[in-house]
Structure 1
Amino acid sequence: MRAALVMAMALALPGHAAMAQERAEEDDFIVINDTRATEDCTPDTAYRMSFAAAPGATESERHCLTVDGLWVGNRFYDGIDGYYRAEAAGSEPVTSRLGVYGWWARVEPPDTPAPARLTGRVGDCRDLGSAPNVIMVSGYCHYVSGGYIALGSAEITGPTPYRLLGAQARAGIGQLLEPPLDWAHRTYVEGRVWTWLERLRSNDITAYAEAMGLGSYAADPDEPGSDIQALFREPGSVFDRLRNERVDTLRIWLFAPRERDVDEPPVDPTDLDAVACFRLGEWTDDRWPVAGVDADNAPERPYACVAVGRETYDGEIEEYLDVPHSRRSLAEPAT
């Protein structure tokens, strides 16, 4: 169905959920927010609850409760361990993550993960899309299923924590695995990554954008957040360092395979899902990423990473090479 967005409205009728919606076609709506947590839902009036208990709260408790966790953007986590567990799970519903909706004019989310105390109403993504004539839900529940909290108020309670380090943390998360010494795809991955580095070091923005197949937004050097701006126009970034420093160490990890549904075909033996990282600077302790979420190429990282993959679908092979450039990152521990 073609959704011709015409107008935005906020429904605030007595006895009904107040949700910001956009009109698509006649009598069809796209839910863009949940503002059911009212101003009288405060930490003083709310039920205090642990993160793990929040999704199972009673109906009366769900109307207004307070939960402590780690907050960034439209995601809220059960501490730093919950952050890693949830991001390793991708879009799958997990108990260590809640989505966040709310009165953004009153509450501004942090740009990097920060300890926070959120007060509001707990809901489920399935309920947002179950109302009559709702054809789509935007925001967190468009991409991820599970629980969410509609904010009434929020308090940042501490600074952004450091990311985890070391082989023990990597093994505990279980997302990044060392490939075997005789791994058949090593030459393929290394070849693609070193070729990418040559393109980055050429400083030819047009040639890079064409080789990577970037769209108009990603290829615009003046567009904030675009690939080209992040890779070529930000002094002091890991990409800036990668162009100008000597690089002699490349490490590769495989992403642990996800559980497949019983009706899905088996994985093709030529498929792969890997992350490859160049070391920047001199360090001997294990400062490599412990999970995919840390392969984010934040400016302070002592490495620069690219994701390399190959997937077979209906006999067709699709190859990709993605370059993350996130700033919504955990802090880097001091050396």
Structure 2
Amino acid sequence: MIGSPAWLLAAALAPPQQSAPSAPAAEEQTYIISTIWTRPEHCNLAVATRVALPDLLREPKKWGGKCVAVDGYWQQRALFIFPPRERYAEGDAALKGSRVGIYGTEELLSSAPRSSQRYTAVGVPGMCETIRQAAVMVFGYCHYADGPYLAIAQMRRRQRSAFHR
């Protein structure tokens, strides 16, 4: 009988069983970052601070975590100070200091122009190096490049300004 006193005594006198190694007290979290975006109800053109793209690129940590609106030329996964050449490599170090990476919803990213167009990007800046420290894999702009990125809430196409003499 399993519940008999003889069985309990035998179990108590038996040599201790080898236990499996215990799990660490706090399991490490594994993150794969593929998309980052900002909610438009929290960050939009009405509440954003206007920042010139060169200023954001020069002092990205000053603007980190704040809602900003930045004008530039949007092409693929970046917003540029000047229109880039038609084709460029995302990891091209020569472009450092002339662009900010773009993260957003899949819908936004799939609508990115293949050739540069003037846009106002509204979002929250961050640093590629920071998100890489928190993840085992980062997709998108920060997979190839260092520096600042914008987690986009809104993108507004800008009309070409009229030339006045």
Give the alignment's TM-score, normalised by structure 2: 0.67
2:8 maps to which residue?
A: none
Indicate yes or no: 2:46 matched with 1:44: yes
Distance 1:63 1:90, change over 3 A: same
Measure, in 1, the Cα distance between the counterparts of 2:113 and 2:154.
13
Distance 1:145 1:65, change over 3 A: same
CA contact (8 A) 1:75 1:140 kept: yes
The structure 1 residue matched to 2:121, chosen from 118, 122, 128, is: 118
| Deviation of the 1:120 alpha carbon | 0.2
Distance 1:114 1:150, change over 3 A: same
Measure, in 2, the Cα distance between the counterparts of 1:30 and 1:89.
20
CA contact (8 A) 1:91 1:145 kept: no
CA contact (8 A) 1:99 1:141 kept: yes
| Deviation of the 1:143 alpha carbon | 1.1
1:149 maps to which residue?
A: 150
Indicate yes or no: 2:87 matched with 1:79: no
Distance 1:136 1:90, change over 3 A: closer
Measure, in 1, the Cα distance between the counterparts of 2:89 and 2:113.
21
Distance 1:130 1:156, change over 3 A: same
Measure, in 1, the Cα distance between the counterparts of 2:142 and 2:90.
15
1:127 maps to which residue?
A: 130
Measure, in 2, the Cα distance between the counterparts of 1:67 and 1:110.
17
Higher relative contact order (CA 8 A, sep 6+): 2
Gap runs ≥5 in structure 2: 1-27, 161-165
2:35 maps to which residue?
A: 33
CA contact (8 A) 2:77 2:112 kept: yes
Measure, in 1, the Cα distance between the counterparts of 2:61 and 2:91.
28
1:136 maps to which residue?
A: 137
Amino acid at match of 1:116: Y
Report which of the two structures shows the higher radius of gyration computed on alpha carbons. Answer: 2
CA contact (8 A) 2:56 2:63 kept: no
1:105 maps to which residue?
A: 107
Q: State, as a whole percentage, how many aligned pairs show the same letter.
A: 25
Deviates more, 1:49-58 or 1:149-158: 49-58
Q: Deviations over 1:8-53 (max 9, x none)?
A: xxxxxxxxxxxxxxxxxx8422111112x22121111000010111
Indicate yes or no: 2:82 matched with 1:70: no
| Deviation of the 1:66 alpha carbon | 0.4
Distance 1:144 1:79, change over 3 A: same
CA contact (8 A) 1:72 1:114 kept: yes
Measure, in 2, the Cα distance between the counterparts of 1:104 and 1:79.
25
> Paired residues, what number?
127
Root-mean-square deviation (CA, aligned residues, Å) is: 2.6
1:295 maps to which residue?
A: none
CA contact (8 A) 2:78 2:101 kept: yes
Measure, in 1, the Cα distance between the counterparts of 2:55 and 2:65.
11
